[in-house]
Structure 1
Amino acid sequence: MTILDSVIQDNQVCEPVTPPNGYVTEVQPDTSGSDQLHEEERSLPVVRELRESTQWHEVEAYKHLSDSARAHSLTATTLRGEGMIARRPLKFFNADKTECILICHLGKNLCGHDGIIHGGLLATLLDEHLAYVTLPHLPNFTGFTANLNVDYRRPVTSNQWVTVRGKLIKVDGRKAWAEAWIDDDQGVRLTEAKALYISPRAQGPKTDF
């Protein structure tokens, strides 16, 4: 990833949910994508399980970005639309934000080889996801990717739902390590990554991911 952008907005509330750590989540309805995709999303077993769980708390993807940062974001804006990332991903945190889950649909126009999602896009999704579980725990509220290792286990076909999962491994001062992986909707491991993030010495604004 480049940076996980700097200017932040706190989550607000449609239907408030107060998790154990006290942060309040709000998810505005997403009207993008077709009715069919919307229905598929709602019917995914992983989505039903996460929304029924008391251990996971849904937040609005990209809500932490300022309007300017969102407008210029590769994943929040540039790659959104029909045939790409048609719907805003669903995003869930555990209580202490050491684990995160993202569910998204990858369309036919995100390919390297025809019908196969570009490996660079998968690396980008993993990199951003690794940041979600590391940056909240770094001392100066922001960080940069110092090292990213990606293993491509299986081809990721286009026009499918995927689940991105990430977990914080260790924090040592201004350094944080994490791992993340991408599964298909049957739980088959497709791609996985490990990363090191380093926080700059200068303190930035605190981001509510």
Structure 2
Amino acid sequence: MLRPRIQTLYSLPVWRTAHPRLYTRTIRRAPSPCTTTISRRLTTSPRRFNELPNAAQPKQPGPIPASTAAIPPEQAAASDAQAAPNPPQQPKPPRRRRGAILYAAFFLLIGTTLGSLFRITIAPPDLPEPGTPEDEHLLAVIRRKAAALPLVQRLEADPEWTAWDAYSGFDDSQTSDTSDASDAGVAPMRRRREAHLTAGALAGSRGLAYQRVFRNNATGECLNVVYFGGGTAGWPGVVHGGCLATVLDESLARCAILRFPSRTGVTATLELTYKAPTRTEAFYVVRARPASGEAAPGKSDRKAWVEGSVETLDGRTCVLARALFVVPKGIKLAPLTGF
């Protein structure tokens, strides 16, 4: 509780002078309604100056009523607690649990995806061995995807193009004798397909899983739709340059040998220009056509220049090639069929 401010009003005698405006009888100040006015004469006595009038004396606390004194302290505290109003409770801020859950799920999905891609790229799973049930299942899936390609469907329906599977004409009953010292002169029998590089060592879903050849009988151009498996990679996910050179060599040789009357020949020159990376586990088109000036039939029975390329299904060039094939003199080579 604020104590009242004590304001003192002094009455000072003022002597009259010659002019009435230069004096006043008494200097007074109107008291404030919340203050106590004390009137006294001017004095220098410390005792009288410190005295307060009767109206300004502080009141002494009276005796406690008997009814209040008789109440026990516990009951008085309980009644005071009941009488006191409850303080207003501030509303709690809403919890943002939904946003936190969404953020956690989003970052968990990103981390799982990046981790899986990193693991597959750095340490890919083992590829199935050729001839296993897993390999046969993957080969069937790849063939179904190849049959659904628009390019394959268009060439299959065009009568100007002849189609066959690469190396399907190899006679499995034809064998070649090879000596093995560990077998004490016993010549093991190996099939021709298994002895071939692209049809044997690179067979299966992990190698050259699909090769479909199309040839235009009028122009001599050959197209080979190839699927490069995961086992053909040099860098992770990129086809090895040597594998591309092998496929181009055989595809360009097919275009040249089918024009030779002897149906055989060897590679004399092979030039390659790598334009863009070739990805594994994807379909590509290997084109081979006679070079400019070599398209006329019968131009040469022993030499032919062929140009080719490896392209994506949408026409982007990855590798350019140019090769010269010849029929050697003085050496009799067996004709190549069904390749």
Q: Which of the five TM-score ranges fits, normalised by the shorter chain?
A: 0.7 to 0.9
Shift of 1:97: 6.9
| 2:220 paired with 1:82 | no
For residues 125-140 of structure 1, the aligned pairs below 5 Å read 125-140=247-262
Shift of 1:207: 3.5
Q: Unpaired runs of 5+ in structure 2?
A: 1-135, 173-190
Shift of 1:205: 4.0
* SS of equivalent to 1:86: strand
Distance 1:165 1:80, change over 3 A: same
* SS of equivalent to 2:290: strand
**Aligned counterpart, 2:165:** 60
For residues 1-209 of structure 1, the aligned pairs below 5 Å read 33-67=138-172, 68-87=191-210, 89-96=211-218, 98-169=220-291, 170=294, 171-201=299-329, 202-209=331-338
Shift of 1:55: 1.5
* SS of equivalent to 1:113: coil
* Distance in 1, Cα, partners of 2:264 & 2:328: 7
What do the CA deviations read for 1:96-155 (whole angstroms, capped 9, x no partner)? Answer: 471111112111111111111001100110000011110122243311110000011100
Structure 2 residue identity aligned to 1:185: L
Runs of 4+ in 1 over 4 A off after TM superposition: none
**C-alpha contact 2:251 2:286 (8 A) present in aligned 1:** yes
Instruction: From the CA coordinates, give the structure whose radius of gyration is larger.
Output: 2
* Distance in 1, Cα, partners of 2:206 & 2:168: 23
Task: Quote the sequence identity (%).
Answer: 30
Distance 1:97 1:141, change over 3 A: farther
What do the CA deviations read for 1:24-55 (whole angstroms, capped 9, x no partner)? Answer: xxxxxxx7744432221111111011111122
* Distance in 1, Cα, partners of 2:230 & 2:279: 9
Q: TM-score scaled to structure 1, two decimals?
A: 0.77
Higher helix proportion? 2
Q: Unpaired runs of 5+ in structure 1?
A: 1-30
* SS of equivalent to 1:51: helix
Number of residue pairs the alignment of both structures matches: 178
Distance 1:198 1:77, change over 3 A: same
**C-alpha contact 1:178 1:195 (8 A) present in aligned 2:** yes
**C-alpha contact 2:160 2:218 (8 A) present in aligned 1:** no
Q: Which has the higher contact order (CA 8 A, sep 6+)?
A: 1
Distance 1:190 1:145, change over 3 A: same
* Distance in 2, Cα, partners of 1:208 & 1:79: 20
Higher strand proportion? 1
Shift of 1:173: 4.2
